[in-house]
């Protein structure tokens, strides 16, 4: 049975260090100095996450973000802009080598398999969720988890959000949400598209993470070894930090 590293919930670092840490873990997993890593984190401050290819001016209400000290950061995966709540979400990432036989080469199949770890874990708490290709998990036909993935130099970074409670007011305040997208989906508001676990049952973040870990162990037939970042990863993350908080990177200046 294969071993993966499990890093428990981290909620003290800012957005830039969170992203720098993921890249540092990618480097050590690539070098095989660290095991495949399942990591959990939540947000210290309100933030908005830009997909790698997005233009901040087109996607965000920058004045509102500035006025309310909302962190703006760019991740290295694609997809759309997302509001990050300090209170009502859990984030996870799986970092694993692309040549690991446990992960399908096909991107959509890999999304489905990794998301199945979340689905099986949530089922243990009584949530009946389903996978919607290519990157969403639905609860009662509403999005409860969005996921993104990138593959760089033989390493997969797959990360996602598990919503506990949608914060529609904040989303509209900081994100430029195109009304035409709502019309396309034949809904009147974002509330018709997303939901949170707390809309149905309330568990602590620790209880949810513990159940999700059980889901990953069952789906992948692995053991999880609880651990922390290595000293090398901590040092690399500190060096990468300046990349992620650099406005040239965030705003493509």
Q: Digits of tens for pLDDT over the chain (253 positions)?
A: 899 999 999 999 999 999 999 999 999 999 999 999 999 999 999 999 999 999 999 999 999 999 999 999 999 999 999 999 999 999 999 999 999 999 999 999 999 999 999 999 999 999 999 999 999 999 999 999 999 999 999 999 999 999 999 998 888 899 998 755 544 544 455 667 899 999 999 999 999 999 999 999 999 999 999 999 999 999 999 999 999 999 999 998 6
Q: Which CA distances in Å does 108 have to 31, 134, 136, 164, 245? A: 26, 6, 11, 25, 31
What's the rounded Cα separation, in Å, for the pair 134 and 51?
16
* CA nearest to 136, candidates 128, 125, 145: 145
- Is the CB of residue 156 less than 8 Å from the CB of residue 149? yes
Q: pTM to 2 decimals?
A: 0.93
**pLDDT for the residue 198:** 98
Rounded-to-integer distance, Cα 10 and Cα 126, Å: 25
pLDDT at position 169 is 87
Q: Are 36 and 97 in contact (CB under 8 A)?
A: yes
Residue 144 phi, psi dihedral angles, 5° rounding = -115, -15
How many domains does the chain contain in total? 1
Q: What is the pLDDT of residue 27?
A: 98
pLDDT of residue 58: 95
What is the predicted pLDDT for the residue at 184? 52
For residue 237, the enclosing domain spans 2-250
The domain spanning residue 92 has which CATH number?
A: 3.30.930.10
- Ramachandran angles phi, psi of 235, nearest 5°: -65, -45
**Cβ atoms of residues 8 and 40 within 8 Å:** yes
**Pair 209, 90: CB distance under 8 Å:** yes
């Amino acid at each position: 049975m294969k071993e993966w590293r499990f890093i428990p919930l981290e909620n003290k670092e800012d957005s830039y260090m969170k992203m720098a840490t993921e890249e540092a873990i990618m480097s050590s997993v690539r070098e095989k100095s660290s095991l495949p890593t399942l990591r959990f984190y939540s947000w210290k401050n309100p933030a908005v996450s830009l997909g790698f290819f997005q233009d901040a001016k087109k996607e965000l209400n920058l004045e509102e973000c500035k006025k309310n000290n909302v962190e703006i950061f760019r991740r290295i995966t694609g997809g759309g802009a997302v509001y990050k709540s300090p209170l009502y979400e859990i984030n996870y990432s799986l970092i694993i080598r692309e040549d690991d036989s446990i992960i399908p080469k096909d991107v959509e199949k890999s999304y489905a398999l990794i998301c199945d770890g979340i689905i099986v874990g949530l089922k243990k708490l009584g949530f009946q969720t389903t996978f919607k290709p290519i990157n969403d998990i639905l609860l009662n036909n509403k999005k409860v988890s969005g996921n993104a993935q990138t593959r760089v130099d033989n390493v997969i970074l797959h990360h996602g959000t598990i919503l506990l409670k949608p914060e529609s007011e904040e989303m509209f305040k900081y994100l430029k949400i195109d009304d035409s997208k709502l019309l396309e989906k034949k809904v009147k508001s974002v509330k018709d598209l997303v939901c949170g676990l707390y809309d149905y049952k309330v568990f602590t973040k620790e209880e949810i993470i513990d159940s999700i870990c059980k889901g990953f162990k069952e789906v992948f037939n692995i053991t999880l070894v609880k651990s922390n970042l290595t000293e090398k990863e901590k040092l690399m993350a500190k060096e990468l930090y300046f990349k992620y908080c650099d406005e040239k990177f965030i705003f493509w200046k």
